[in-house]
Chain A
Amino acid sequence: MREIGRFFSGFANRNGLPVAIYLLVAVSTWIFVLVILPQLTMFDFSFRHNLPPPKIGGPEDVHTLEQYRYFVMGNEITGGGVNTLDIAVLFKTLVAAVFVTIIDLAICYPVAYLLAQSSEGSAKRLLVLALIVPFWVNEILRAFAFRILFGATGVINGAGMQLGLWDAPIDFIGGNVALYAGLAYAYILLMIFPLYNAIESLDRNQIEAARDMGASWAQVHRRVVIPYAKPGIASGSTMVFMLTAGALAAPQILGGPSSLWFTQIIYQWFNSGGNWPRGSAYAVILLAICIMFVLLIMRVFKVSIGEIGR
């Protein structure tokens, strides 16, 4: 707190009081009104009963663990026992998000490396532009484009069958290929840029030195580039994982008939289920599990939270 005070007075001295006050108001509005307050409201919501509007604020409106109990134990009317259905969906969502993160990392690392270390000047700017521009197309449109691409009569099946690679249409949608492709593509920039930033600041001489000392390319990456880029890898992976686990549009549009994303369950509780407290509880569960998972992985790979901010 004292550090923030010192920063503020220093900032005010350099830039004038009005600018400093604007900064203070803008940042605190952002943090408290847009970030903390809604989360707190949701958090509070998740500990309440689902009551009809007239009863809200009445004597029955008390805090309860009912919504969380439901996630673990299921509905007592349907017989109780462990709520395997929802837990399995959450688990599957996390596994799928990890999978998408790994795909993105595998695709982005070479791209970021080449972009950062090999290309220069105008070629680099052009490449970055080529990466960014496709993201002007909005998410829904992109998802539907992927559906068309991967559909039974889609471009890929059409081309594959024309070339005689396979003779019956492959069900990319049912096999979730379209979903993984769509998700991997949706957040690819969030992986590329942290990686690119991390690798770009690596002194090229280090790579040449390692080469000169007899290291193969694999060894150069394993011992020099990857350890150096670790904060970038962590930061990119965290963002991709979090956003994938929390994605809704892509699973909704590209998911196969049998696949259910945890966010879709949350959405159902809020929307068709009309049970906001339960939806809130599920959202809190997703957030908490994701944060714990990320912290655990960071521990395994020995990355501190401070490094991600670099």
Chain B
Amino acid sequence: MTKDITLDHVSVSFGDYTAVDDAHLTIAGGEFFSFLGPSGCGKTTLLRCISGFQEPSWGEVRIGGKNMAGVGPNKRPTALIFQNLALFPLMSVADNIAFPLEVRGIDRKARRKRADELLELIALPGQGDKKVGELSGGQKQRVAIARALAVEPDILLLDEPLSALDLKLRQHMRRELRAIQQQVGLTFIYITHDQGEALTMSDRVAVMSRGKVEQVADPRTVYDQPASSFVASFVGENNALPGKVLESGDGRMVIDIGLAAPVTVAAGKGRGRKLKVGEACHVFVRPESVAINGDGDINRFNATVIREEFEGQVRHLIVKSGETELRVTQVGYGNGASGTGASVAMSFAPELAVPLPIGHLASA
């Protein structure tokens, strides 16, 4: 019943500018799928290709196996929720929700009934006669979702719908969106530059940069096993340590990253890429993967704390060893070491470091 969406080598160019470069992936029916990337990475253009507001320059978009070329947005089984929601300010809440039914010529009474049902679903019962302007940000959000669900589309497309909300509400709406998705069982395609949103809600995430899809995987894999240096640096915080491969052997590599001694990293077990001796690379070590005053023997080095950032439940230390700066995150007060200028022993496990070939990084 649910329909797969296939992007078959989809590219979009505007003049000389390539907005989407050969996106090739399949989204399963019923999936919560996110496109994650910084602004300008092509994710919105891709969404417009799926919704029908943009025709691909090359390749095709198939929904349920059917090529969508030449099929207008009003004829596709998709419903789009705009970044600014695009509710109609001059209509009541119920009229907004029932608008898709109205344009299909469904009579007033049936429209109202369906609108009331949907208001029930989004936990705003009896609010149909209000003006849109009387609703709060979160309520508007839910009305936009209800309006999109009114004609029972197969696929709901969401273009950063939470970006206008404040932090608490955003977190609340994440859970709510996920709950609605599971309740109605539709395919949700979600566009965001907020990795927190993408990771918490999605079944799978496609990370995009400069028009290219860099990795498609479930959130854990994206976080733990980034496929490219862009993904490693964009998703979550990461120390990108430039280095050079000294040894590349069976399941492990030795890499010089400017610390007192070369480090050993695991290779070929899903994390990172197996690299050739002499190749320049980046070793990615997450701030939380570095242990302070731990008992590990491997990859142990001394560093000096040059700055400390307190963030409540976590504490970031910026430490320097030789010419290499690292960011280290500890929960609570960790192993004590603190204070600018303090000298600490650090270590990280070889399997927590991800070596990747040199590529572009996410700009901070």
Contacts and interface: CB of A to CB of B under 8 A. Distances in A.
Contacts of A213: 74, 79, 99-100, 103, 147-148, 150-151
A216 B104 CA distance: 9
A214 B86 contact: no
B74 A215 contact: yes
A61 to B, nearest CB: 56
A96 to B, nearest CB: 33
B225 interface: no
A227 B86 contact: no
Contacts of A219: 103
B99 A223 contact: yes
A121 to B, nearest CB: 14
Contact of B74 (A216, A224, A227): A216
A79 B84 CA distance: 71
Contact of A203 (B84, B103, B147): B84
Nearest to B150: A213
Contacts of A28: none
Interface in B100-115: 100, 102-104
Contacts, number: 60
Interface residues of B, number: 26
B186 to A, nearest CB: 15
A223 B102 contact: yes
B84 A205 contact: yes
Nearest to A206: B86
Contact of A228 (B74, B78, B90, B99): B90
A224 B80 CA distance: 17
B88 interface: yes
A210 interface: yes
A227 B96 CA distance: 14
Nearest to A224: B88
Interface in B114-171: 147-148, 150-151
B249 interface: no
Interface residues of A, number: 17
B103 A215 contact: yes
Interface string B63-89: 000000000111100111011101010
A208 interface: yes
A76 interface: no
B101 to A, nearest CB: 9
A211 interface: yes
Given A203-B84, A216-B74, A210 B99 contact: yes
Given A212-B80, A216-B103, A203 B73 contact: no
A209 interface: yes
A214 B90 contact: no
B51 interface: yes
Given A205-B84, A224-B88, A212 B103 contact: no
The 6 closest A-B CB pairs, nearest first, are A209-B86, A205-B86, A213-B100, A215-B103, A214-B74, A205-B82
Given A211-B53, A215-B103, A219-B103, 15 more contacts: A206-B86, A208-B73, A208-B86, A210-B88, A210-B99, A210-B103, A211-B74, A212-B53, A212-B73, A215-B74, A215-B99, A223-B99, A223-B102, A227-B90, A228-B90
27 contacts: A205-B83, A205-B84, A205-B86, A208-B53, A208-B73, A209-B80, A210-B99, A211-B53, A211-B72, A211-B73, A212-B53, A213-B74, A213-B79, A213-B99, A213-B103, A214-B74, A214-B100, A214-B104, A214-B151, A216-B74, A216-B103, A219-B103, A223-B88, A223-B91, A223-B102, A224-B88, A227-B90
